[in-house]
Amino acid sequence: MSDSRIIDVFAKASEAKRAVFVAYLCAGDPDLETSVEACRALIDSGIDILELGVPFSDPLADGLTNQLAAQRALESGMTGADVLELVRRVREFSEVPIVFYTYYNLVFARGSEGYAQAAKAAGVDGLLTLDLPPEESAEHLAACEKHGLKTVYIVAPTTPDERLNMICEATTGFIYYVSREGVTGEQTSMSEGIQARVEKIKQHTDLPVVVGFGISNADHVRTVAQAADGVVVGSAIVNCIAENKDDSATMIESLKAKMAALLEDGALSKS
């Protein structure tokens, strides 16, 4: 066992010849108490990593589904302190790795040092700070290293090869390859060339590479699992909350059913 839940979960999956499943929820959607139970439902359904979106008023990388999730969370009164409380509540029943998906404004407002310290103390394992380029990350990286948080950086289809080294050097957890241009959201078909792009990234790093944006059914999961070390599903899960936000019991059943559908017939297995 390493000193990182993130490293351990990828190692365990590799031994089992399968991809890691990363599930995204917006913290506090539709409210704190329901969000705790939504996290529990996903964890009970077998996810490997929980990616928690920190609700933000101007989520530029997110499509409508996740924008509305952030809006619901903020309207319910979620604060930065509440997001940390959510993590502490999850830690009462699970050791699943938790990664914050956040925007740099929220980190900057508290200061990289203070943010990293508070996140680690609550039980967070890694930070994906969407709009912080590696060229401007020195303070952030130092704070994460000091407090034992892994960093996650994004590679896009448009990322030039000359930037890959810089991005990979700033990353200590895993690389997140977004499989298409634009914002988050469910898609009916997967982007072409995922395998080739993942192989290109792996020429620059030994770290795991996960693929997200647009993955919404078991066929998508199977396709990505063959090419990458991990599969990220967000909007397809968040939609279960959006469609049942006024009935928490139905919402939880919907989340469990969606997870069962996404993972049917060993969708994460590598052939």
Q: How far apart are CA 125 and CA 112, in angstroms?
A: 15
Domain presence at residue 179: yes
Phi, psi of 152 (to 5 degrees): -125, 130
The stretch 44-48 carries a mean pLDDT of 98
Length of the chain: 271
pLDDT at 189 over 60: no
Instruction: Kindly state the DSSP code that residue 3 receives in the 8-state scheme.
Output: S
Confidence of residue 246 (pLDDT cuts 50, 70, 90): very high
Catalytic residue among 62, 125, 186, 229: 62
How many Cα atoms sit within 13 Å of 69 on the Cβ side? 32
Residues forming beta bridges with residue 22, ordered by sequence position: 49, 232
The whole-chain average pLDDT of the chain stands at 93
CATH of the domain at 27: 3.20.20.70
Domain presence at residue 269: no
SS3 25: strand
pLDDT at 184 over 60: no
Domain presence at residue 271: no
Q: How many domains does the chain have?
A: 1
Is residue 62 flagged as an active site residue?
yes
Q: How far apart are CA 233 and CA 90, in angstroms?
A: 19
pLDDT at 263 over 60: yes
- pLDDT tens readout for residues 215-238: 999 999 999 999 999 999 999 999
Q: How far apart are CA 258 and CA 252, in angstroms?
A: 10
Domain presence at residue 268: no
Confidence of residue 180 (pLDDT cuts 50, 70, 90): low
Domain presence at residue 267: no
Domain extent, residue 149, equals 5-262
- Percent of the chain exceeding pLDDT 70 equals 95
Confidence of residue 188 (pLDDT cuts 50, 70, 90): very low
pLDDT, residue 166, reads: 96
Phi, psi of 22 (to 5 degrees): -110, 120
Residues whose CB falls within 8 Å of the CB of residue 220, separated by 6 or more in sequence, listed in order: 187, 190, 214, 231
SS3 156: coil
- Percent of the chain exceeding pLDDT 90 equals 86
Domain presence at residue 221: yes
pLDDT at 106 over 80: yes
Catalytic residue among 51, 125, 186, 229: 51
Domain presence at residue 159: yes
SS3 23: strand
Phi, psi of 153 (to 5 degrees): -125, 155
Domain presence at residue 270: no
Helices (H), 25-98: 32-44, 64-75, 80-91
Among the listed residues 23, 131, 47, 127, the one whose alpha carbon sits nearest the alpha carbon of residue 84? 127
Whole-prediction pTM: 0.95
Q: What is the dihedral of CA 60, 66, 68, 70, to 10 degrees?
A: -80
- pLDDT tens readout for residues 194-215: 999 999 999 999 999 999 988 9
pLDDT at 187 over 60: no
Residue whose structure tokens are 């029943």: 93
Here the tokens at position 202 are 């792996």
Helix axes 32-44, 80-91, angle to 10 degrees: 40
Range in 61-70, 95-104, 187-196, 205-214 the model is least confident about = 187-196
